[in-house]
Chain A
Amino acid sequence: MIDIGGAKLKNPFMSASGCFGYGQEFAKIMELNSLGAIVVKGVSLEPWPGNKGVRVAETPAGMLNAIGLENPGIDYFLTHYLPWLNEKKIPVVVNIVGRSVDEYALVAQRLNETGVTALELNISCPNVKEGGIAFGTSKEKAFEVVSAVRKETSLPLWVKLSPNVTDIVEMALAVEEAGADALTLINTLTGMVIDIETGKPLLGNLTGGLSGPAIKPIAVRMIYQVAQKVKVPIVGVGGITSLDDALEFFMAGASAVQVGSALFRDPLLLSRLPGELESYLAKKQTNLGAIIGLARRNS
């Protein structure tokens, strides 16, 4: 069993929020039970319509998205998706989003006593103006929203950080001090693609969040830096496409990892990773605990 800030997972591999919906689509092609946990698409207090226009664009070794956190709202999640997920006996981590401190706190409150395993506070979505990244790029605002949610919940509270900051360590420390039980890093990096035929930005939202292998070295670097400074566990995410990639994240200091846009190309990746890790550990005659943070100890 792996313990991420009080959340017990049977393996360290999870879906990344926004890349696995609420599990129902992937359940058609794989056993959801093979995941350590499912991290669901961000949920807000009210339904959000998301952004207009083009929402996705392929980029070198990755993609941009500007979905804008389209989601059906917490009530719909609780009545339509959570009962189904609870039946699957899989740990559910609910990614929550809001436009204000109150909205985050209210969504967190609604998830008390619902059987979910943990909350992942998304203060880092680059595609919504209010909320999302506004909280993720100011340590004072991040502290405020995490403190407010902390008061409403005794569930394990993970906070997903934005890489779009000057000093990731400063953000991580602020969030830890506010009561986070774990940190998820990193969310996407803000980027832009221009359509040279029209001479305009391609995405309806103009900018989008970059994900995929292109951002992996940045994620590894940030985890490495943050892991030296915080006591809470880190969930690594950003460009993982294979066990080798995941091992880098563990060695940088992540205790568990999430897989996101790689699933769009390799939908069964998450069902293979736990077995591949076991084989690797057996072959190397070691255990996951010995690998976590290895690169820091070796340097």
Chain B
Amino acid sequence: MKDFLLQVTSQQELVPGVFSLTLKGFTQEYEPGQFVQVEVAENYEPFLRRPISICDVEDNNLQLVYRLKGRGTKLLAKKKPGDKVRVLGPIGYGFPLKSQRATLIGGGIGVPPLLGLAKKMHGQGMEVTALLGFKNKEEAILLSEFAKYADLQVATLDGSSGRRGLVTELITNKDDLVYACGPEGLFRTLETLGVKGYYSLEKRMACGVGVCLGCNITVIKDEKELRQRVCHDGPVFPIGSVKWGD
């Protein structure tokens, strides 16, 4: 982990409200699933950095794909090529690779961190299936990129692209190790289905480095309840280990 001052090389609106920001000079190795803390304004308003998952790193170019949500991401979306942005990272523990086959399951803005994962798995000769779910065709992102590294299937709630329904309905092989990122409802469905693997959590954070305890959750490990920090001990946790709503 290092605090970088990176230069924006591109800023692109992929679909309305979802941006892809590329910053050059990110010289640290990363594991897919890790995230960075991005300073969005040079003054202290807004006060906190924004935690954003790493979509991909190629030749020290860091790609972040984020959704316009509040005043922080609004300021971030205004950054232009040449602007400097302070970025702390990579933070946390990413997805562990443990098998020859894997199913990646992403929902909405949970999709981006799985791209770097698909690329890494493909690079290691793994057989990768990517199941991506979106509200509709207009919100579908990164499809051609995923198609390079994985057998891609898409689901949309309105059926405007791929299969109509939830992304979890695309699961055919429950024996594959699953790597998921998306809303809590998706994670709970995966738990109900009894699949094994990992999910990457999103939680309101302040420090992002494990000191403030703002993002603490309870996880169950070896039948014991443990307090863990999503930022420092995650954001990736084994499917089924999180005690929801605690």
Does A associate with B in a complex? yes
* CB closest chain-A residue, reference B50: A58
Report B-chain residues with C-beta under 8 Å of the C-beta of A50.
213, 216
Interchain CB contact (< 8 A) of A55 among B45, B47, B88, B213: B213
Shortest A39–chain B CB gap in Å is 12
Query: In the complex the two chains form, what is the Cα distance from A58 to B47 in whole Å?
Result: 7
Query: Among the interface residues B47, B210, B246, which one has the most CB atoms of the partner chain A within 10 A?
Result: B47
Query: In the complex the two chains form, what is the Cα distance from A21 to B39 in whole Å?
Result: 21
Which DSSP category, helix, strand, loop or mixed, fits chain A's interface? loop
Shortest B86–chain A CB gap in Å is 8
Report A-chain residues with C-beta under 8 Å of the C-beta of B206.
56, 58, 63, 65, 261, 264
Interchain CB contact (< 8 A) of B212 among A49, A62, A67: A67
Are B214 and A55 closer than 8 Å at their CB atoms? yes
Are A49 and B44 closer than 8 Å at their CB atoms? no
Are B212 and A19 closer than 8 Å at their CB atoms? yes
Are A60 and B45 closer than 8 Å at their CB atoms? yes
| Given A28-B1, A29-B2, A56-B204; A20-B211 close (CB under 8 Å) | yes
Report A-chain residues with C-beta under 8 Å of the C-beta of B208.
264
Contact residues on B (Cβ < 8 Å of other chain), bracket: 20 to 34
Residue B170 lies at the interface, judged by CB distance under 8 Å to chain A: no
Which DSSP category, helix, strand, loop or mixed, fits chain B's interface? loop
Residue B48 lies at the interface, judged by CB distance under 8 Å to chain A: yes
Are B204 and A54 closer than 8 Å at their CB atoms? yes
Shortest B89–chain A CB gap in Å is 11
Are B1 and A265 closer than 8 Å at their CB atoms? no
Report B-chain residues with C-beta under 8 Å of the C-beta of A60.
45
Residue A191 lies at the interface, judged by CB distance under 8 Å to chain B: no
Report B-chain residues with C-beta under 8 Å of the C-beta of A197.
none
Chain A residues bordering chain B, tally (CB within 8 A): 35
Report A-chain residues with C-beta under 8 Å of the C-beta of B227.
49, 70
| Given A29-B2, A70-B216; A21-B47 close (CB under 8 Å) | no
Residue B81 lies at the interface, judged by CB distance under 8 Å to chain A: no
Query: Among the interface residues B44, B205, B208, B216, which one has the most CB atoms of the partner chain A within 10 A?
Result: B44
| Given A49-B227, A267-B88, A268-B3; A26-B48 close (CB under 8 Å) | no
Are A21 and B204 closer than 8 Å at their CB atoms? no
Report B-chain residues with C-beta under 8 Å of the C-beta of A268.
3
Interchain CB contact (< 8 A) of A56 among B205, B209, B232: B205
* CB closest chain-B residue, reference A20: B211
Query: In the complex the two chains form, what is the Cα distance from A57 to B207 in whole Å?
Result: 11
Residue B194 lies at the interface, judged by CB distance under 8 Å to chain A: no
Q: Which of A41-58 contact B (CB under 8 A)?
A: 41, 49-50, 52, 54-58
The 10 closest A-B pairs by CB, nearest first: A56-B214, A21-B211, A264-B207, A56-B206, A25-B210, A55-B214, A67-B213, A25-B209, A213-B44, A58-B48
6 other A-B residue contacts (CB within 8 Å) besides A20-B211, A25-B211, A56-B212: A19-B212, A29-B3, A52-B246, A58-B47, A65-B214, A265-B47
